[in-house]
Structure formats: C-alpha cells, structure tokens
Amino acid sequence: MNRNTFINLFVFIIILSPAVYLAAVYPKLPQTVATHFGIDGKPDQFGNKRELWQAVAFFIFINTGVYLLLRNIHKVDPKKSAATSKGVLQKIAVAVVLFVTCVNILVIQSSLNNAIAFDKIFLPSMGLLFAYIGNLMYSVKPNYFVGIRTPWALEDDENWRKTHQLAGKLWFAGGILITIITFFTPLIAGVPVVVLVVIIITLIPGIYSYRYFAQHKKVN
C-alpha cells in the first residue's frame, strides 16, 4: 500500500466514523432528540431520532466532496502551479475533514446528552483550524480554489506570495485569538468574535493585494 492510498483510506475511515458512532449509540438515544440549536447553544427544535441519520449523511457527503476537491485541485485548476502545492492542499484537506467530523460527532453527542458543547469545542476548534491553515498558507501556490484569490494576486506570482505571507500571519494569529476568546466565553458572545475576526483576516490581505498591485503598477 503506497502512501497516498494509506492516507485516503485513513481519511475515509475518519469521514465515516460518525455513522459508526451513531449506530453504536442509537439504541441509547431518546425517541425525540434535539435537531437544531440556537445561537445560545440551547436546543430550539426537536424531531425523531431517525432524522440524525439524515444529518450525519449530509455531513459525510459534504466532507467527502471537500476532501476530493482539495485532493484534486491540481487536476482541474487552470493555474498549473497548483500542482506544486499538492502536499499542502492535502494537509489542509485532512484538517478540514477532522474539523467537519468533529462537528458531525458533536451533533450526535448533543442528542445523546440533550446538550451541546459548541461553546467549548466547536468555536475553539474552528479557531485552531484557521491557525493551522494560516501556518500553511505561505506555501500555497496560485490557484482558483484555495487562498486569497484576488485578481491581482492570481495574475502576479510575487503579489500572491506577499499577500499570502501576510494572510498566513493574520490567519494564524486570528485563529489563536478565536480559540482563546471563544473557549472562555459563551457561544452567543463567541459567534460575533468569530465573524469579526474572519472579516478582518480576509479583508486585510485583499486590500494589501490591491495596494501592492497599485504601487507596482505606478513603478512600472
């Protein structure tokens, strides 16, 4: 078994693990379970426990699609340089798979205990995902699917490199900030923090990319 086959097998075991977990705990679930939670983390909709299979299947479908897309971007992306980022994109793909699987299991666990730990697990985990991607962003080569895909960065390799050096630092710092703040705050207070940080770490690199383009256009 080669390395890629082993990684793919490992990833799909992770993706399918929530279905195995649901099957194991299904007899213990009450007939009526929480199916939706408000911004305060408390259940506000309920349904038959059979609906959990639909939710789990949906997450598995999304997880599989995202993984396959990230693993095969180099085959469909017009920017041929994306092929040199296969290893980095694979790391991002695995990280996303782990995060979505965590969310999938949280949905099941919340129904089992009639409570949800989004305020202590979901948002901090999202912060760690941002930090991890930020740590890899400087290695991502120009492509149309992953990264700060401004038209100025896509048309200029140096603009892309500089933009992603900045973005990587911001995403790492923003992710750590999200993790720390949301771990110590309730969900209702943590969500605005996440939204604000995501806007900042996305907007600043985009503005920087344009300013870099404008400055170098004047020089040339």
Q: Which two tokens stand for residue 46?
A: 């309920």
Who contacts 196 (Cβ-Cβ below 8 Å, separation ≥6)? none
pLDDT digits 0-9 by tens, 191-208:
899 999 999 999 999 999
Q: Do 86 and 158 sit in the same domain of this protein?
A: no
Q: Do 105 and 6 sit in the same domain of this protein?
A: yes
Given 83, 116, 149, which residue is the final one in a domain?
116
Q: Do 48 and 142 sit in the same domain of this protein?
A: no
Residue tagged 């408000």 (tokens):
38
pLDDT digits 0-9 by tens, 104-161:
888 888 777 655 565 678 889 999 999 999 999 988 888 888 889 999 999 899 999 9
Residue 188 and residue 40 in contact, taking contact as beta carbons nearer than 8 Å: yes
Who contacts 81 (Cβ-Cβ below 8 Å, separation ≥6)? 141, 142, 143, 157
Better-scored residue on pLDDT, 34 or 49 = 49
The secondary structure of residue 185, as a DSSP letter, is S
Q: What percent of the chain has pLDDT over 90?
A: 48
Chain mean pLDDT for the chain: 86
Q: Do 145 and 42 sit in the same domain of this protein?
A: no
Number of domains in the chain: 2
46: three-class secondary structure by DSSP: strand
Given 116, 136, 163, which residue is the final one in a domain?
116
Q: Do 97 and 132 sit in the same domain of this protein?
A: no
Q: Do 201 and 188 sit in the same domain of this protein?
A: yes
Q: Do 48 and 111 sit in the same domain of this protein?
A: yes
Given 88, 116, 144, which residue is the final one in a domain?
116
pLDDT digits 0-9 by tens, 54-86:
989 999 999 999 999 888 887 777 766 666 778
Domain hosting 59: range is 1-116
Q: Do 59 and 148 sit in the same domain of this protein?
A: no
Q: Do 206 and 218 sit in the same domain of this protein?
A: yes
Distance CA 129, CA 121 (A): 12
Q: Do 28 and 84 sit in the same domain of this protein?
A: yes
Q: Do 89 and 1 sit in the same domain of this protein?
A: yes
Residue 34 and residue 114 in contact, taking contact as beta carbons nearer than 8 Å: yes
